[in-house]
Copies of this chain bind each other. A is one copy, B any other.
Amino acid sequence: MTDYADLAPSSRRIMTPGPVEVDPRVLRALSYPILGQFDPEFTAIMNETMGMLRLLFRTDNKWAYPVDGTSRSGIEAVLTSLIEPGDRVLIPIYGRFGHLLHEIAERVGGEVTTIEKPWGTVFDPAEVIAAMDRVRPELVVMVHGETSTGRMQPLEAIGRECRRRDILFVVDAVATIGGVPVETDAWCMDAVIGGTQKCLSVPSGMAPVTYNGRAEEKVLARKRIERGLRMPQDSTEIPGRGLAAAVQHAYIRSNYLDLSQLQDYWSPSRLNHHTEMTSMLYGLREGLRILLQEGLDARFERHRLHEKALTAGLQAMGASLYGDPACKLPVVTCVNIPEGIDGDSVRAMLLEKFGIEIASSFGPLKGRIWRIGTMGYSCRRDNILQLLGAFEAVLLRHGVRLPAGEAVQAALHIYEQQASSKADV
């Protein structure tokens, strides 16, 4: 029973839409000895992390903290806490992760109406606003950056119109947070869910969320008085109903993902809930620290530069990019797989021979596109140049005819342009 080998993962350049390579400083933070969850040193780290998350989300919200689980746990925590069974929920879908929002919203009891756009495009905000007026939902829930198709939805006009109609606007910014601007307050988003394993370059395991007073009001209306704290006269409880509010609201059906309990745990009262993930929080704090040291705007600029070099390289080798370029997600680049080429064989050779990982896609796009992520710590010049060279070699090996050598040169050209324009300033 003792014949399990030492952990020895191979070295990888991870150029998928997540998880991506973890910054070595974050890896180091993960390896620090832990503190107890109520140790004053640790609760100070919790508070500090909340402050950093507010800067990340560009918000003055009181609540900004990680849910202890992968990104999808953050989405479910927000939806199960904000959607009361029977609430009308409008979900505009333009890729796989919109369908996931539908799936989760329905499971937690929402009366979901969806509108859909063909994959590879996004919504004109007017289409969403028209649907809002037709459906009259309590919530609009949608994806900011859809990694399945590499598209990004403009949100500002939708947010403004939600606010005017007193609709809660919930946004899945898992793929975009830390890589492209996500303006929680300016875009009138009432709740936003971020991801760690993409543009933050922290391992999967936490889901930073933020929500404002409008969202908190709904959470608190559904707060359930815990057993042992109830008064005897409360005992004639209506099944499935809370006890506290004047208008009775259905209580939140999860304990683990109940934002009303989580915010008590993250408040000065530190009401005991789960045991905080100490090591993951160390990692998240360090990832946020790196991000704030780089500066959000500089970071967004870096992501745009490497996207430009990557796409210039791909185009120089004659690759065809998938989707409407007007709404391209800067941190994911989708490439049409050439006719007659086995996409998985190309990916396998890239991984096995070159140690570089890129992704396939889902559903209607499975076998039709490759997806290349340029996120966080993986979004680096050496990665772009090595990927382009390796990708070219693998395509040649698979019989694709292309102008050899052009891709890397085109990318180098972009980088030199950038360097000289900087020198000009």
Contacts and interface: CB of A to CB of B under 8 A. Distances in A.
Given A103-B227, A285-B7, A205 B31 contact: no
Contacts of A55: 1
Interface size class on chain A is 35 or more
Interface in A94-150: 99-100, 102-104, 106-109
A280 interface: yes
A296 to B, nearest CB: 9
Contacts of A285: 4, 7
Nearest to A280: B205
A16 B37 CA distance: 10
Contact of A203 (B4, B11, B12, B280): B280
Copies of this chain: 2
Q: Is the interface of A mostly helix, strand, loop or mixed?
A: loop
A233 interface: no
A267 interface: no
Contacts of A226: 103
A272 B280 CA distance: 23
A282 B22 CA distance: 14
Interface stretch (A156-164, A248-256, A416-424): A248-256
The 9 closest A-B pairs by CB, nearest first: A31-B31, A203-B279, A205-B277, A70-B274, A30-B30, A204-B275, A69-B69, A76-B256, A27-B31
19 contacts: A4-B52, A7-B286, A12-B34, A14-B34, A21-B34, A27-B32, A36-B357, A69-B73, A70-B275, A71-B275, A76-B254, A103-B227, A108-B253, A109-B253, A203-B277, A204-B278, A253-B253, A254-B254, A279-B279
